[in-house]
Amino acid sequence: MALRFYNTLSQQVEDFTPARDNTVRMYTCGPTVYDFAHIGNFRTFTFIDLLRKCLRLNGFQLRHVMNITDVDDKIIRNAVARHTPLAEYTTVYTDAFLEDCRVLRLERPEILARATDHIQEMALAIAKLSESGHTYTSEGSVYFKIASFPGYGKLSHNDFSGNIAGARVDVDSYEKADARDFALWKAPKDAEPFWDTALGPGRPGWHIECSVMAIQYLGETLDIHAGGVDLVFPHHENEIAQSESLTGQPFARFWLHAEFLMVEGQKMSKSLGNYYTLRDIIGKGYAPEAIRYLLASVPYRKQLNFTFDGLKAAAIAIDRLRNFKLRLETDRFPEGVNEAGNARLAEAGQAFRDSLNDDLNTAEALAAVFEYIRDANSAMDAGLFLAGNAAAALQFLAEFDCVFDVLKPSVKEGELSDAEVEARIAERTAAKKARNFALADQIRDQLLAQGIILEDTKSGIRWKRK
C-alpha cells in the first residue's frame, strides 16, 4: 500500500510523496519553553517521531525543522516575575525539553530553530507584508489584516466572512473560533525585553516565527506541516495567511494534526490534579519505553486516554516482545526452514507496513506484530519453528523497533549500562577460563543483585534485565 495521510486542508486521505528529489521537507511546531512539557505535548511529539520513522521506512530522506519558541507572552510574564533574563529562563526549559525527548527516544529533527535567533528575518518579512498592503500599525505594534487574505479559514474550515474588519487581538493564543487581526510585531511594554530592528523596537508575535523559519530552511512550499490539533486555529491558519501573502505560493501540501490526550477519561488540567509532565510519570517508577509505547499505540487522529492501567498494560506488551526476541536468540530450534512459517512472517511484515502507511494506523500495525508472535510461539511449542526461520523473525522485530523503539530497556539512574554489563560478563568469562570459579560466581551474584540475569547457552552468555 502506498503511503497516505489524512490532510486537514483537503479533509481527504491522500497519497503522499515529496514534491521533489525524494526529500520530505517538513515543519513541526515545537515547544514554547516556559515550563516542563506535559504528556499531552509528548503525545504530539511522539506522533512526529513515528511520522519521521514511517517516512524513512518508505525510503524518503528527511529535512525536518522544529522551532523552539523562546519568546512569547507566557515566557516574558514568567521571566519578568522571576527577575530572570529571558535567555537564562528559556535555556533551562529548552535543555529540559531536549533531555525529555532523549529519554522518550524522540529523534532530533535535522534543524532546531530558536525564534530569538531569527528576529531580524522576522522583522524583514513583516516589512515585506506591510509593503504589499497586508498590515497596519497601531501604537508601534503591527497587525496582520485578515481581510487582505481571501483564503483565511481554509484550514480550519471556518467561514469568517461575517467578521468585522479591524477588530484585533494582541495575545499570541486565542481560543474562540472568531477571526481577529493578529499581532505580527509587538511594541515594547514596561520592562519587557525587546529587539532593535528595521521595524523599530519590539518583539515578534508567535505566529510569524513559524512562517519565517519554515520558509527560510525549507522553501516556499513545505511537503508536510504538522502539530497538535489545538494549533489548527488560530496558529496554523495565521501561518498560512502570512506565508501565502509573502510568497504567493501554497504554504504546505499536507497538514497533519494529532488529537488531544485525556487522562483517566478527563481533560488534563492542573485544577483536576491530573496534570502530568513526563518527569512526573517517570518519577512514579514507569519506564520511558512504556510511556512511549502507550503514546504510540493509539492512532494519532484518535483521542488518547492516558491511564495508569494503560501504562501497566504497555509494560506487559513490551515484556512479551522482549521475551519473544530472547527466545529467538537463545532457543535451540530443529534444523531446516519451515516455508509456511516464512510465508506467515511475510504476511505479518506486509500487514505491519500497510497499517503504518494507512495514515499511521499504529494500532493495526501492533496487532499484526502480536498476532505473528502468538502464531510463532505456538509453532515453537509444537516444534514447527525451525532454525532457518529465526533470522527473518529477528529481522521483523528489528523493523518493528525501527519505528516503535521500545525493545531496549532504559537504563535507570544508578543502574549498570549495557556496556558495563558486557564488561562484567567479559571479566566473568576470563575468570572461568582461569578456573577461578569463585570469582565467576561472585560476578554472577553481583549482577543478579543489580537486576541482571545471566544465562549460559551453547552459543555463549545471554543476559537480560529483570
Binding residues (CB under 5 A) for Zn ion: these are 29, 210
Distance of CA 397 to the CA centre of its chain: 21
CA-nearest of 29, 27, 28, 37 to 97 is: 37
Nearer to Zn ion, 226 or 290 (CB): 226
Instruction: Give the nearest distance from C-beta 185 to Zn ion in angstroms.
Output: 17
CB 366 within 8 A of CB 406: no
The dihedral through the CA atoms of 418, 419, 421, 426 has a sign that is positive
Instruction: Give the nearest distance from C-beta 120 to Zn ion in angstroms.
Output: 19
Type and span of the H or E element at 419: helix 418-433
Q: How far apart are CA 168 and CA 178, in angstroms?
A: 11
- The residue count of the chain comes to 466
Instruction: Give the nearest distance from C-beta 291 to Zn ion in angstroms.
Output: 25
Instruction: Give the nearest distance from C-beta 29 to Zn ion in angstroms.
Output: 3
Nearer to Zn ion, 171 or 411 (CB): 171
Nearer to Zn ion, 67 or 338 (CB): 67
Nearer to Zn ion, 228 or 288 (CB): 228
Nearer to Zn ion, 181 or 209 (CB): 209
End-to-end CA distance of the chain: 39
CB atoms within 10 A of CB 95: 11
CB 355 within 8 A of CB 299: no
Q: Describe the crossing of helices 339-357 and 362-381 by its angle, rounded to 10 degrees.
A: 170
Instruction: Give the nearest distance from C-beta 257 to Zn ion in angstroms.
Output: 12
User: Residue 321 corresponds to which amino acid?
Assistant: L
Nearer to Zn ion, 210 or 222 (CB): 210
Instruction: Give the nearest distance from C-beta 406 to Zn ion in angstroms.
Output: 29
Instruction: Give the nearest distance from C-beta 213 to Zn ion in angstroms.
Output: 9
Q: How far apart are CA 80 and CA 2, in angstroms?
A: 51
Type and span of the H or E element at 95: helix 86-103
Nearer to Zn ion, 114 or 428 (CB): 114
